[in-house]
Amino acid sequence: MIEKLKQNEELWDLFSKKEEYNLTFSDQYDRFPYYLSSQRNIFDPSVSRFLVENGLHPEYPDGKKFAVCLTHDIDVIYPEKIYMIIGTAKAFAKGNLTDAIKTPFCRICKKFNPYWNFREIIELEAKYNAKSSFYFLALRPGEKDFNYEIEDLEAELKFISTRGWEVGLHGGHESYSSLEDIKEKKQRIEKVLGKEIIGYRNHYLRFKVPDTWELLSKANFKYDTTFGYSDCAGFRNGMCHPFRPYNINTGKQIDIIELPLIVMDRTLLRSYMRLDVKKAWELTKSLVDKVEQYNGVITILWHNNTSIDGEGLKYYEKFLKYVSGKKAWLASGEEIYNWWSTNIEPRY
């Protein structure tokens, strides 16, 4: 498949992300955003279409036509103090005395904490015979965006893992460019979990092509799922299938599988595209339908602290209902990696 793809210069440059080598410009987080890209067909998985037309026909467990990789980045567990003030005021304004009483204690009582919701997420996904991946930060006090000690979550991590869901690493701000930092954080979370982890996504989707892939491979990660634009949903390199990245500097594939990120909640609804709920839903459905058409894998990121509450939770369940109704395989990154690397990749 790689040799066939190389014969199409336009698609090969897109697949390998040639334009992201030796960057002149990047955004404030040292990322390559969609608005700087020459790619204008972000909602078309053109490389995957080419591969399917040339013999790639993935099959999934139980005869499923396509797969959905469900993931959650755990950036925040303890709400900021301003949340307690605003949340209490809003509850009083709505006449909700129960929430008004609970909110001031949300940082010290798990039952009152809306972000300590891992088990609720698991219960919701189990209704749809789904599993997902939870990527936890392993920051130390003083590091940017530090919010929790991973050691304090031992019981939660082990609960998630023993239920069959996945625990992975959410690398910090500097991890994407530091092998030492990646290894230190990986070892730390593995010590708490009591087992090795294989999956990774970097905080703020910070990523360098091809450097971050090379670092993750050296740190013994089996797969990454950072590779998507923060400012636009869609197919960053035209792929809606897992793939092994190619380093055009070395002329070799990198020993890691990428599960490209297609949809992130904050991209759609808040920080970037700023779509209303209706338009976000229409775009999400169209991307799902595209991935189904080419027997691909759509990876979706839903945070525990912003969109997994209130209307966000309803939106997430609406998504689960939609893809479940299409009889998709709803799986964690670990499950997708294991299936793809064993059953699909060896055939092409």
> Is 95 contained in some domain?
no
Contact predicate 301/72, CB 8 Å: yes
> Is 96 within a domain?
no
Q: What residue type is assigned to position 51 of the chain?
A: L
Copy the structure tokens of residue 172. 């910090």
pLDDT at 79 over 80: no
Confidence of residue 270 (pLDDT cuts 50, 70, 90): confident
Q: What are phi and psi of 223, to 5 degrees?
A: -150, 155
Asked if residue 265 has pLDDT above 80, the reply is: yes
More confident residue, 73 or 94: 73
pLDDT above 80: residue 96: no
Share of the chain above pLDDT 90, in %: 80
Contacts of 66 (CB under 8 A, 6+ apart): 60, 291, 292, 294, 295, 296, 297, 298, 326, 328, 329
User: Which has more confidence, 306 or 43?
Assistant: 43
Q: How confident is the model at residue 276 (pLDDT cuts 50, 70, 90)?
A: confident
pLDDT tens digits for 19-39?
999 999 999 999 999 999 999
Q: Which domain holds residue 32?
A: 1-78+115-344
Q: What is the CATH number of the domain that holds 318?
A: 3.20.20.370
Q: Are 297 and 241 in contact (CB under 8 A)?
A: yes
- Has residue 44 been placed in a domain? yes
Domain assignment present for residue 86? The answer is no
Render pLDDT for 212-238 as a digit per residue (tens, 0 to 9): 999 999 999 999 999 999 999 999 999
DSSP per position, 253-267: E-SSEE--EEEEHHH
pLDDT at residue 176 in the model: 98
Residue 93 domain flag: no
In a domain, 205, yes or no: yes
pLDDT band for position 106 (cuts 50, 70, 90) = very low
- Is the pLDDT reported for residue 100 higher than 60? no
Give CA–CA dist 261/241, Å, rounded: 10
Question: Is position 36 within any domain?
Answer: yes
Query: Domain tally for the chain?
Result: 1
Q: Answer yes or no: is 16 within a domain.
A: yes
pLDDT at 180 over 90: yes
Distance CA 115, CA 79 (A): 7
Beta-carbon contacts of 68 under 8 Å, excluding residues fewer than 6 positions away, are 130, 288, 297, 298, 299, 300, 323, 328, 329, 330, 331
296 alpha-carbon distance from chain centroid: 16
